[in-house]
Amino acid sequence: AGLSQRLSRAIGIYRAKYLSLTGNFLSAEQAREWGLVSHVVAPEQLDETALAIARDMLSVQPHMLEPYKALIDEGFARDFG
């Protein structure tokens, strides 16, 4: 579900092959360094961090959330060429 398309685009083809061909797992910190996750927090900070991110998202005009998401998705799907 996305391994062949999305993972290599997210972390690069060589890292995707490394993970896929070795079966190795990433630590949370390594996943953050590779750009797979945006935050790594202690379990007791999870709710507080998630709520803070949600509050940040709510600061955007509600009618703009869907257009922003669509714009980013469309831009990602395009070639640079």
Sign of CA dihedral 4, 80, 15, 40: negative
- pLDDT tens for each residue of 31-75: 999 999 999 999 999 999 999 999 998 898 889 989 999 999 898
Question: What pLDDT was estimated at residue 38?
Answer: 94
- All residues at 6 or more sequence positions from 7 whose CB lies less than 8 Å from its CB, including other chains: 16, 19, 20
Q: What mean pLDDT is predicted for residues 25-36?
A: 94
Q: Give pTM, 2 decimals.
A: 0.69
